[in-house]
Amino acid sequence: GQQVMQIPQYQHVQEGEDFTTYCNSSTTLSNIQWYKQRPGGHPVFLIQLVKSGEVKKQKRLTFQFGEAKKNSSLHITATQTTDVGTYFCAGLSGSARQLTFGSGTQLTVLP
């Protein structure tokens, strides 16, 4: 079945440093979504990417979808303490009927 791998599992950064999490799928994806889960909270939708090579920005967050539509990344510039949480990617392949979530990257931002 479809597998979505996400690395790293944990990341500690100093406030102001950049952060990147990577998502890789075993199959070609029709789209990929990103969610953020704050500690003790629930996942909240951030963005969806559909096109090959697509790049979208939300303030300090940059999302990319690979040319082959098998990988994606989320880059945060100049992290802030409000960025703390776990970031999940979730991909949908052509044959699947539901999203497959990656295992998440837990981001800690040290003040």
Partner 1 sequence: DSGVTQTPKHLITATGQRVTLRCSPRSGDLSVYWYQQSLDQGLQFLIQYYNGEERAKGNILERFSAQQFPDLHSELNLSSLELGDSALYFCASSEGWGGGEKLFFGSGTQLSVL
**Residues near partner 1 (CB under 8 A):** 6, 30-31, 33, 35, 41-45, 48, 50, 88, 90, 92, 96-104, 106
Q: For residues 66 and 104, which CB has a smaller minimum distance to partner 1 in the complex?
A: 104
Residue 42 phi, psi dihedral angles, 5° rounding: -115, 160
Q: For residues 84 and 96, which CB has a smaller minimum distance to partner 1 in the complex?
A: 96
The distance of closest approach from Cβ of residue 45 to partner 1 in the complex, given in angstroms and rounded to an integer, is 5
Q: For residues 65 and 88, which CB has a smaller minimum distance to partner 1 in the complex?
A: 88
The distance of closest approach from Cβ of residue 78 to partner 1 in the complex, given in angstroms and rounded to an integer, is 27
**Amino acid letter, 28:** T
Q: For residues 45 and 53, which CB has a smaller minimum distance to partner 1 in the complex?
A: 45
The distance of closest approach from Cβ of residue 58 to partner 1 in the complex, given in angstroms and rounded to an integer, is 14
Residue 33 to residue 89: CA distance in whole angstroms:
6
Residue with tokens 């703390």: 84
Q: Which residues of 33-69 are buried (b: 16+ CB within 10 A; e: fewer)?
A: bbbbeeeeeebeebeebeeeebeeeeeebebbbbeeb
